[in-house]
Chains A and B, each alone.
Chain A
């Protein structure tokens, strides 16, 4: 699967040409030295006239103008080339996300995806457009100057070469330190972020127990620790760079002695000594820039790794079978499932739900009720066992195909940044305005929609922030009514609403249930399920009891116990 995406990080042709241009420009900076060397020679042969100077100026100007043009063109090219790669990566991420199983789209993970497609990609672009070109440029330039120096004095050339090569162990050491202390720093940062989040979510409670502000020792400690570890991290990494800089200067000092020696032996001339000193000073600067660029490059590759991890995720695999349109029975056979390994939520769950019946699921919170919905909608795959819809194993069918037959009504109602009308219409694309309005009326949405400033044309902002929980639930019911799908998964969450909203939602659900189809309802209050065709009682990941209200009451087990508790509540 991964192969299909490996190409996306590759630099395009345009970018390659641009980088070549930047490197060539760096090379031309080095051409200044031969010109200065000629000038030097004429100074030391005593025959210098102003004409010699002017000739040098002509050469320098030619080099300069060429650099100006070359750099302007290639810098701009690298910017647009980088933008192109960014676009490619972002599109590829979007494409990949379509193929990842829906269960992976948890709140934490979606944040990661969004970050990857926005800021991480932008960071990666930085590597390409700035750091990569700089690193190649500086390395090539230094290598050329090493060769040039070798032709004059091989010993000094060797020293220069060694200082360049030294960058490798220096980088290895620095990476080691960064990894070692970076891990501790990241842990401290995560701890700090969670402490702050915890402190803010609980600020009301913490305050009333005199645990606010600096009296909250655990928060203060985690902030102190984070500051301390950050400092220790810098202190461990900083000396490496400075140590390297000093090594470069030692190289220069030794070279000076070596060359003075050579000058005395008349192995080199005075102009040669001067030009090499110039080169050494120049290269020392280039090498420091190279070091800084390498460090930055290494930091930015973290972004690339994060992006890569998305492309490594397993894709959903199906052979494209379709659901049997004739039957919508749902069958679980010995299904095991756990969100985190070792903590089974469902353990050998088996049941059959008949089509065109109302089946209620009851059970304590945490017993695995909503997991059943997640498995039917293919958000997650069972660890063991089979789930069949209309006799077809849903493993063989794509998530889209399964979801096409299902309407989910629950607390999480996602709203698009679009008008109310379109938000409902997404449920059935060819629905007319009148049909949408009818659905909204049946779902008790019409009145509050009409109270919005533009009625059905009101644009619901960022995921409908202004809507109350009850209103969102009713919109979700309106979608389900319009959609008219053969299966409805209903999480009856009216218990979390106030009385007026509870009644409105309940009436809306009654309207939704007027059409015969396969309906599974998770119920939190006992009274509503009494008339269900079948009641499944879930206990510790298994079906403990199943049957009609009357039958289960006669059985006098878990269900009867829950009903009695419910009666105590109603007084």
Chain B
């Protein structure tokens, strides 16, 4: 079995061919790193020549030319390392974003709903964007910062072994101090997490609740709550700064303590004739500096944790199982739920051993208390979720066995909330289908919206993200209905909109729905009861199943729930407000 990849190797796998860019960048960064020793090499050669009196203009020019040429190579390598890594990184970002959207399109919608849209948006925008940081910056920088000192160390070792070894001595106290710093900081970790949650919570409540705060005259008190959270944050960071600040500062300075070892040791060797002046000065100068170059590595480690987190989040999405099935959509359109058990969370069953049969061409309304599972039934038929036990069948074929795209092509779903893209009205009705303007207008006419669209200055070219953002709820709804009319799928699942439309608009919507339902097998989740009279049968969802099903008159007789709700409905419809009465 293939070993499952994780973390950065997984990220590189996602990069696919773009790995070549990253690899190129790393190689160029290495070359540049090797080039960084040249100025010091020149410096050291120059001193030795000076001491021995061999230094002249000719040598100076030669050294200057070497410096300019190698530095040109180095700078160019460095630049192209960055360019290549960015190219690779942004290509990879695009690739990963496509992978995620593609995978999401095959995931059960239920699995998408479980993660909030906010979470997925965060992954798509922020987490994936952070990968750029790793691929374009951190990876070449890692090579640069880590290899630079190593190459310098090797160079110094070739110059003089004893001094070379001494030159890395400062690492020891520096690392000890850094560990100490991390340990101290670790103790504050819980407080840091709690405090930042506290801060964003308090700020959020203060800002979002401002209207109510003013209305209830709570300004003083709310402001105190807000400022207390800020004070707590301040106190925490002061404590942390006092505990870790001196350690961090010491760590930085300790990396440069080599001078205190190398000058006496080098001086001793030089006085006793073991090394040349060039070697002494090289170590006195460079030996104090090169370790500081590893400083950015510590900042890098923070980023890496962040990037890894993003990779894991993306992996979680990509690991969600996708829907399969290969049978074509059946010729018959009757719908059946057979012994269906379903639960959203794996614990509380919404439906238990539920049976329901809808004949081809029948129009059935589903009613029930909120949360009883009305919408669940249409979610199961359209495979937004899959049943736990039992089966949902269309034309006798289990929906799980039907090719998912073929299933979607034959089922229209009209949702509670109208969704319009930012594109034109035409695009919003045609939705990528192969249709003519005439088809679109006919659908719009059937949906009672053509007149309105034609009255707009731009007609069907009106952008729904621009002018169309002013469409009323009822108008948007009718555009969505026009879209479904045009699709003309044999099965229609309708989750009735609950948003308020004014009466005249609602009359139009009802006409549009009538036109949409014609000659189809229809399942309507009814939130208002107006619509049930138009249906062939009414099913009540109650106690994790269908408690009763029948025609309107039958149901008034046989379902207590329905009779009761019908009474409530009549009372609600007849409510007329009047001011006054008893206090």
Q: Is the CB of B577 within 8 A of A529?
A: yes
Smallest CB–CB gap between B90 and chain A, Å?
4
B214 at the A interface (CB under 8 A)? yes
B204-242 to A contact mask, C-beta < 8 Å, 1/0: 111111111011111100010011001101100110011
Report if A525-B211 is in contact (Cβ < 8 Å); known contacts: A209-B432, A245-B75, A500-B565. no
Q: Is the CB of B421 within 8 A of A202?
A: yes
B324 at the A interface (CB under 8 A)? no
- How distant is the Cα of A507 from the Cα of B265 in the complex, in angstroms? 93
Q: Is the CB of B253 within 8 A of A68?
A: yes
B179 at the A interface (CB under 8 A)? no
Q: Is the CB of A97 within 8 A of B242?
A: no
- How distant is the Cα of A231 from the Cα of B238 in the complex, in angstroms? 40
Q: Is the CB of B572 within 8 A of A201?
A: no
Of the candidates B72, B214, B415, the one whose C-beta lies within 8 Å of that of A102 is B214
Of the candidates A57, A363, A408, the one whose C-beta lies within 8 Å of that of B264 is A57
Q: Is the CB of A200 within 8 A of B502?
A: no
Q: Is the CB of B250 within 8 A of A68?
A: yes
Q: Is the CB of A493 within 8 A of B260?
A: no
A534-560 to B contact mask, C-beta < 8 Å, 1/0: 000000000000000000000000000
Q: Is the CB of A209 within 8 A of B55?
A: no
Q: Is the CB of A208 within 8 A of B411?
A: yes
A459 at the B interface (CB under 8 A)? no
Of the candidates B136, B217, B574, the one whose C-beta lies within 8 Å of that of A400 is B217
Smallest CB–CB gap between B411 and chain A, Å?
7
Number of interface residues of B (CB under 8 A): 162
A448 at the B interface (CB under 8 A)? no
A150 at the B interface (CB under 8 A)? no
Residues A22-70 near B (CB distance < 8 A): 32, 36, 39-40, 43-44, 48-50, 52-54, 56-57, 60-61, 64, 67-68
Q: Is the CB of A261 within 8 A of B530?
A: no
- Report the nearest B residue to A462, measured CB to CB: B201
Report if A207-B281 is in contact (Cβ < 8 Å); known contacts: A246-B71, A400-B217, A498-B369. no
Report if A57-B260 is in contact (Cβ < 8 Å); known contacts: A102-B210, A260-B57, A565-B504. yes
B102 at the A interface (CB under 8 A)? yes
Number of A-B contacts (CB under 8 A): 435
- How distant is the Cα of A211 from the Cα of B102 in the complex, in angstroms? 11
A1-35 to B contact mask, C-beta < 8 Å, 1/0: 00000000000000000000000000000001000
- What are 23 pairs between A and B in contact, CB < 8 Å? A44-B51, A64-B256, A64-B257, A87-B234, A91-B227, A102-B211, A204-B413, A210-B408, A211-B432, A213-B105, A214-B102, A230-B90, A234-B83, A242-B78, A278-B285, A357-B579, A379-B211, A495-B501, A499-B572, A506-B575, A517-B579, A519-B579, A529-B577
B498-528 to A contact mask, C-beta < 8 Å, 1/0: 1111111111001000000000000000011
Number of interface residues of A (CB under 8 A): 172
Contacts of A468 in B (CB 8 A): 370-371
Mostly, the B contact residues are helix
- How distant is the Cα of A285 from the Cα of B216 in the complex, in angstroms? 60
Contacts of A193 in B (CB 8 A): 121, 125
Q: Is the CB of A208 within 8 A of B86?
A: no
Q: Is the CB of A256 within 8 A of B206?
A: no
- Report the nearest A residue to B237, measured CB to CB: A83
A79 at the B interface (CB under 8 A)? yes
Q: Which of B39-47, B153-161, B387-395 contacts A (4 or more CB under 8 A)?
A: B39-47
- How distant is the Cα of A54 from the Cα of B102 in the complex, in angstroms? 70
Contacts of A231 in B (CB 8 A): 86-87, 90-91
A173-215 to B contact mask, C-beta < 8 Å, 1/0: 0000000000000000000111011111111111111111111
Of the candidates A67, A114, A524, the one whose C-beta lies within 8 Å of that of B253 is A67
Smallest CB–CB gap between A159 and chain B, Å?
13
- How distant is the Cα of A209 from the Cα of B201 in the complex, in angstroms? 40
- How distant is the Cα of A198 from the Cα of B230 in the complex, in angstroms? 35
Smallest CB–CB gap between A231 and chain B, Å?
4
B150 at the A interface (CB under 8 A)? no
Q: Which 4 A-B pairs have the closest CB atoms?
A: A53-B267, A76-B245, A212-B105, A213-B105
B539 at the A interface (CB under 8 A)? no
A324 at the B interface (CB under 8 A)? no
- How distant is the Cα of A513 from the Cα of B253 in the complex, in angstroms? 74
